[in-house]
A and B are shown apart, each in its own frame.
Chain A
Amino acid sequence: MAQPLVKKDDDQEGEEYSPFLGIEKGAVLQEARVFNDPQLDARRCSQVLTKLLYLLNQGENFTKIEATEVFFAVTKLFQSKDNGLRRMVYLMIKEISPSADEVIIVTSSLMKDMNSKTYMYRANAIRVLCRITDGTLLTQIERYLKQAIVDKNPVIASAALVSGIHLLQTNPEIVKRWTNEVQEAIQSRAAALVQFHALALLHQIRQSDRLAVSKLVTFGLTKKGSVRSPLAQCLLIRYTSQVIRDSSMNSQTGERPLFDFLEACLQHKADMVIVEAARAITEFSGVTSRELTPAITVLQLFLSSSKPVLRFAAVRTLNKVAMTHPLAFTNCNIDMESLISDQNRSIATLAITTLFNTGNESSVDRLMKQKISNFMADIADEFKIVVVDAIRSLCLKFPLKHRSLMNLLSNILREEGGFEYKKAIIDSIVILIRDIPEAKETGLFQLCEFIEDCEFTYLSTQVLHFLGNEGHKTSNPSKYIRYIYNRVILENATVRAAAVSTLAKFGSMVESLKPRIFVLLKRCLFDSDDEVRDRATLYLNMLGWDASVGETDKGVKEFLFGALDVPLVNLEASLRSYEPSEEPFNLSAVPKQVKSQPLTDKKTPSKKPTSPVDAYEKLLSSMPPEFSSFGQLFKSSAPVELTEAETEYAVNVVKHIFSGHIVFQYNCTNTIPEQLLENVLVVVDASETKEFAQVTSKPLKTLPDDSPGQTFVAFMKPDGLPATGRFSNLLKFIVKEVDPATGEAKEEEEGVEDEYQLEDLQVVAADYMLKVSVLNFENAWESIGPACERIDEYGLGVRESLAEAVTAVINILGMQPCEGTDVVPNNARSHTCLLSGVFIGNVKVLARLSFGIDGPKQVAMKLAVRSEEEAISDAIHEIVANG
């Protein structure tokens, strides 16, 4: 009896002490000195190398000096003939990846190994060399690598081929010269994996050449080119389906043998190949149901495979099939349902989402009985979100089932979960409330319950805001008040402030509740937080608590709860740059256009980003007084290039639009280091345009190389009107030679006058339109009303596609596409695009464009414009008519 006990003790001791216990970098670096011993102890050296590897794998950082020392010491180990140690050395060099100036130390040893008679030295040396090499060394060893690719030893061939795949990223021109050798390797009978690597490399070399890929595939289907490894066969299937997809011929002719190959692969002995082939077949857009059936049948069989990976692969593929060919998928429903209880949660998640996406009205109830909420408790948040999204789409598809589906959402909302997950559920409930009117009361009640016990401030405030918008429209708004006021009592300051706003909104919208809301708001006047007190004071005063209770003024409602109509980013930027002074902050001065990031140098990300609108405004306000008298900047265009890339002088222009003026800001860059430019000015010829008159210009004093500078030219134009025209530009300057020693212009140098022709610049109607999006187009459309609506129809002629026509019109108008309507589905015959913007003079404009395309690709368009002024609606039509 004593014996097993002793053994157990031994075991436990073994468990406790790791061979790396207490390992310390400094000590290991000391130990690495054994690499310098004249009599190398291979075993000891291997142990030290293992320790170094362990440290590297634990994320220990070696300083540059430490890494260099280790590297130099390791190179000494090339003297040892011990195989195990040599293998370790190869790995270690790859792990430390020496810097370019150190590589030279080992290259000769490695090149020697690469031609060694010991096969294994050769394979490993190739891998290490390719890992640490640069272009110049590569040309030296290229000859050996080409030989290695066709070497009879599969280890050497594979090492060279895989190296080729990596080197293709850095030195494509060299690797592309190896095509013949790689082709030979594909026919290699030696090892299945060599074929796999060769096929992958050859495809990568030729992937941009469709014909070559097609030849590669055709060759792969011949007996000579047939591949043995299932991995290689999978590659071949992928390339084949790519070729079939690329060729636009129908299945009657050219690629039939290719399709036959895919069908034959469904009978392959390797599961991996069968799944790949089935996947390829199901992914073709024009596949017939006769072609689809065998593929779906094999996938269906895999659904009940004992191997989880196969079940996953099958369910993942069928999930996609369910979207594209719902009818063909119907047979799999029962098998799929049995996967809901799969041990592997990812498989179950995919099965559930697939069933949700394909389910019909009658299957919803059955699915609900599957205890999905139990299942949800077992999976990670990332996967739960996928299920929540599926529930939402199912509910939108079958609004009649909203009761059971929203119950499910409400149940899972009560379970544990992280922020993203809870947010996904809240977002879903909000969308369902918006889209299914019958779901509103239930949904709002669920949200109220949620905020009673919500740990996320952000979500609580979002829900409160939403309650404020929707709650007062219900049959009995008073029932929500309790939940909202509870927040004032129980929550943190941010949530309390949001609750105060929501209460006030109820008060302003529902007259009967007003006196009671005043009582609650008055209690908030004594809150510990100043924001809460301030809000309560504001609302009480604005809603008139001290006056006799009457209907709240529309202006007050607009002031308190109306939209600001400016992007919050811009508002924030303007508020930050506002300096307290006598002059109050002017909301109408906040730029309305959301600008993308300017074309700044990407190499200096550390610089604090400033809004481009802001930057331009500051820039212009620092200009001569004439510029600042132009009034408020309406819009700045994106930079338009006036020179081709890589010319001596690079110039682009930004158009700044004011009500009665336009300023061209020419951004000039001098790329010649030997030159300094002075008095740089753009001479603008506006003779082709009658509506513009030049008023002033500001030349650039000096322009040294590679430090961009700006010169400006300003024109007067008819006030508030969208004048257009073409301007020709000539860059004039004085060139001075630069002393290379000092980097400054030579003193005696007077300079030579020179000029440089730039491309013409156009001012178009879109320059007068700000891209301003609206949250809800339909609401905005209704609120502008039909008073100033103008509708007309246009023929756009023959177009490449509907998408191209839509993009062209959007560009002509320069308006913001709303609700993603700028994206035209493939093969669509008609499309509606919604645009919004603000036209010069700060007039809101909305446009609804209906496009249709016929057989010979003639595109017709109906344009309905609504704006606040008739003249502007007409102007928009004029822009389209002239465009």
Chain B
Amino acid sequence: MNSVEGLVNQIQGLSTTASDVLSLQNLLKQADDSLHAESTRLLPFLDQLDPSKHSLGYLYFLEACTAGPVTKEQAGSYVLMIARFITSCIAEQIRLAPDKFITVCKRFKDQVLLLEEPLRGVAPMLTAIRKLQSSSEHLTALHPEFLLLCLLSRCYKAGLSILEEDVFEVDQPRDLFLFCYYGGMISIGKKWFRKALELLHNVVTAPMSTINAIAVEAFKKYILVSLIHHGQSPTNLPKYASSVAQRNLKNLCQPYIELANSYSNGKIADIETYVEANKDKFESDNNLGLVKQAVSSMYKRNIQRLTQTYLTLSLQDIANRVQLNSPKEAEMHVLQMIKDGEIYATINQKDGMVRFLEDPEQYKTCEMIEHIDSSIQRLMTLSKKLNGLDELMSCDPLYLLKAGRERQRFDFDDFDNVPQRFNI
């Protein structure tokens, strides 16, 4: 008990300046085991510490407290405590002990799920991410947890801000896989199919040494979203996908590949029978809704193709060509597509004719110029970033070592040895 009290005093004393905090960290690291031993009795001491000033110490105590198994009642109080801590803690202090912070937040998520109130966890988790991240391009282990909470609570919009950021730094590949997979699911939920395609594409083509289940599930969704958004499925993974993925993904997702093949044949009846036949498989993967969306996108695809060939077409003809049941259905489909902005047309109900128009965009408005300008700016920044990375890489000693050994030698100077050994 004494040691714990002494620790509390030291925390209170040493939490003001940065150097003090560092020495405090060493102390805490040494005392960690003893804290864990006393985990059940630490709760009252927490009241003596102020999370907004003594964040690091509070963190250690909190982590030791929540280490053991938690009952539902305890979970309620813990959830409140952790939420308050997250909102009020100091970012610099907790960045000194990121693992502990991550563990605490993960336990927070578990408890929130135990209480079956994922919505309570969404906002605190978002704050936690912002405090843990070193920059907005940094992917922490908390990102996927946050997205999971968003998914479970159907709070998709909250996930939006996180998804719109570009991610360039990753701690753990597994985090990335989960993040992109959950992100893809959220995007599908909000019908941002382009974003979903991007995220799922990242999972599927990420470098991996062995195939993992996340990639397999992501690939299934990738095929379906690709059918909805582009009207064609990816026949082959791009060359930069890992060889493991290229070999195995197709075999593991056979029913989806066949669905994609029958989609490309263009016959609605075939694809519907196929879906009926394999309903259970799709359902067990929780993809049945997406599959149905893919099938209905086929009608859209066919109608879009008609706009390329015809100037005017009767509703009856449209219904026949697209294999719909009646002109009324055709009218509804066309109307929906006009509303969604997928085609430009006018419906003449008196004659039962649809007149297809050209895209009215003339690329002459101010908004368009601004759009183009901002795209150019964005791409220039990206290009600079790429160049920066390239320069950094070309100064890297390991790279120089490898490249130096295999370079061509045209000059006397080229025969100098690239330094073979470095004391890193």
- A and B interact physically: no
Mark A residues whose CB is within 8 Å of B.
Answer: none
